[in-house]
Amino acid sequence: MLETRFIQLARSAGTPTPTRQHEVTAHGRHVATVDVAWPELGVFAELDGELHKDQPVHDAARETAVVAATGWLCCRFTWTAVVLNPTPTKRRLLEVLAQARRRPIMMTPA
């Protein structure tokens, strides 16, 4: 449900359509599956639902693995940010995507 709300928010902000549950690979191996990604820009988003409080260590390890393997930018959004505070969330998402566009293209290693 949160992924759907986030993708609707991203589309309303005018972003390219992201990939949901994107499998990140590097050097022929699976690194992680991320919630939402713009692989062509080297950006991924992790979404923290209301029942997410027990997962921060696992999520931090997955996020670190993706960034180390790919150099992609990560943004993390909570349920509260997506559902209750959409305007600043859109602004932050657009800032991350703009930052990604200013960098050289980051291709995921095959």
Specify the pLDDT at position 62: 85
Q: What is the per-residue pLDDT for 110? A: 52
* Helix spans in 46-85 (H): 56-70, 79
User: What was the pLDDT predicted at 73?
Assistant: 93
Q: What is the pTM of this model?
A: 0.85
Alpha-carbon gap, residue 108 to 110, rounded angstroms: 6
How much is the pLDDT for 58? 75
For 75-98, the DSSP string reads EEEEHIIIII-HHHHHHHHHHHHH
Q: Output the six-digit token pair for 1.
A: 């449900």
84: number of Cβ within 10 Å: 9
Dist CA 7 CA 18 (whole Å): 7
Q: Where are the domains of the chain?
A: 2-86
pLDDT confidence of residue 96: 96
Beta bridge partners of 32: 24
Mean pLDDT of successive 10-residue segments in the chain (110 residues)? 95 95 93 95 90 69 89 93 96 96 68
